[in-house]
A and B are shown apart, each in its own frame.
Chain A
């Protein structure tokens, strides 16, 4: 197994708070890694530093052999990392199709002349992308694939989560970062969503996933390996059963039985 994403000595300071403290973390190709830990332990900060929303205060990030330390969100996306957000960040007045296409930015022809003047060629590209987006949405929910031009704002939370994941997947990233996909959903909905994610991964074996999640059932079911954070530091690492049995993890996060 080769390393896809590697963080070395990664730190991020917010004033007096060290949200990430000298974190070493590596993600292998085709792995599903769960990132767990109590609130404020640095999970989302890790995502934000990797995706370029925050610059690291110290340390280094390499992805797919290239240095991504301090890279802009654009550069990170173009390198093949995409993400979902803890608080769903869809563009609510826009349609399902529009929202998914926002995620396909790098594969769309962005030339002004092409978009305004070459309408025939644009139509061909549009139709091709419509098919791709519909196919992707169908995996998650066939109902959504039939209403691609409905505004997202009218949909329930589970559908929004699905669309957000479609938006992250449509550009065929190498690494998908899922930030609490189950937030705001019931157990059954979460289970359905995870089934869909596993199905997508079945279709694309090249996909590597890092998932932040508080539902341990989800973590146990889908991850190959877990990394536990506390106060921005890694306190344990390994298969879920192992880390769940770890004394320090139980004290910091899971609770002692």
Chain B
């Protein structure tokens, strides 16, 4: 602990928020009865609105801004606590892993859209490229599976570079149209290509690491553990690494460059910015993260098919970005939880999930255009004072 009294005070609201959110999530994930789940969701919304009303959210925001490192570690512990609570529950753990890996993917989208302003409507395609990489490499080669994840990311980045020329030559909405065309193209390609399983898709062999098979259940001290727990640990490592990477990127001259080119290309050019270099950097890095997440997700699910990676799935990723707060990684985590968990738990609205997403996005754009957790002004080093 530091001796600076200001710092010690500012940590508490953030800690309290994480503890409350963790308890709430455990209750929500454990709940089975539909009426109880609906009640819980309504109570959650009411609690957040009340906290906002009483001004309790401002101190939380402040402590996240100033003490991010400590709170980040706490959030990781909280995630592990949730996983430990559901240690033998396949369904819930799969849901948690989905949240974690979708967050990694949206962190990638965030580099592209949140910072550089390149709207990528082919997020699910790059996710799918990663998953297909796992399927093919695990079936036909002996490439170590950690390396397969890396290759999945690299392949997504490489195939994404096919889009670079049109993306660099167009601005704004037109670049987005290029990515939509790509998403449709890729899905069609996968469907007609028999080598990649056609519309039926492919099986993906599970992850094996140093002789440890991720697809086997195991025991710790005589307690049964779901095999998903191994995947959860790996997914968390991936999330922490991507989170740190995206944070460092934002809090550097690179992040400044990306913001400058998003906000005013002409002014940025007049101060020496190489627009192409930074667009390529952000687009490639973003696709790389999405591809790695997809590669691991493929192994988790054990199955890939073109229908899992459609334009609609890309829209879900983009809606997470809009909902969470463009450019704010913490917001992405909150938004991914909402978008992934709520429809799974609320079976009554399962069939209306797209309706729910669209309604949510429209509501956010109308009433809170900067997202649930708007991005704060860049602080290069949290808590730094001149």
Contact = CB atoms under 8 A, between A and B. Distances in A.
Contacts of B379: 149
B289 to A, nearest CB: 13
Interface residues of B, number: 28
A116 B245 contact: yes
Nearest to A105: B272
Nearest to A81: B270
Interface string B270-282: 1111100000010
B257 to A, nearest CB: 7
Given A98-B259, A115-B248, A134-B386, A89 B264 contact: yes
Given A110-B257, A112-B281, A150-B377, A53 B252 contact: no
A151 B379 CA distance: 12
Nearest to B259: A94
Interface string A76-89: 11100011010001
A109 B253 contact: yes
Contacts of A126: 380-381
B377 A149 contact: yes
Contact of A77 (B254, B264, B266, B270): B270
B252 A122 contact: yes
A53 B270 contact: yes
A85 B248 contact: no
B267 A102 contact: yes
Interface in B272-302: 272-274, 281
A205 interface: no
Contacts of A74: 269, 272-274
Contacts of B249: 115-116
Contacts of A98: 256, 259, 377-378
Contacts of B377: 93-95, 98, 149-151
Interface in A86-136: 89-95, 98, 101-103, 105-106, 108-110, 112, 115-117, 119, 122-123, 126, 130, 134
Nearest to B275: A74
Interface string B240-252: 0000010011001
Interface size class of A (residues with CB under 8 A): 35 or more
B268 interface: yes
Contacts of B245: 116
A91 B270 contact: no
Contacts of A85: 267
Interface in A186-243: none
A105 B269 CA distance: 10
B271 A116 contact: no
A59 interface: no
A130 B268 CA distance: 20
A11 interface: no
Contacts of A171: 271
A106 to B, nearest CB: 5
B171 to A, nearest CB: 16
A150 to B, nearest CB: 7
B342 interface: no
Query: Which residue of B256, B259, B260 has the most chain A CB atoms within 10 A of its CB atom?
Result: B256
B252 A102 contact: no
- Top 6 closest pairs, chain A to chain B, by CB: A115-B252, A91-B263, A77-B272, A73-B269, A105-B272, A89-B267
21 contacts: A53-B270, A73-B269, A74-B269, A74-B274, A76-B270, A89-B266, A94-B263, A94-B377, A94-B378, A95-B377, A98-B259, A98-B378, A102-B267, A105-B271, A106-B272, A108-B253, A115-B252, A115-B253, A116-B249, A117-B248, A150-B377
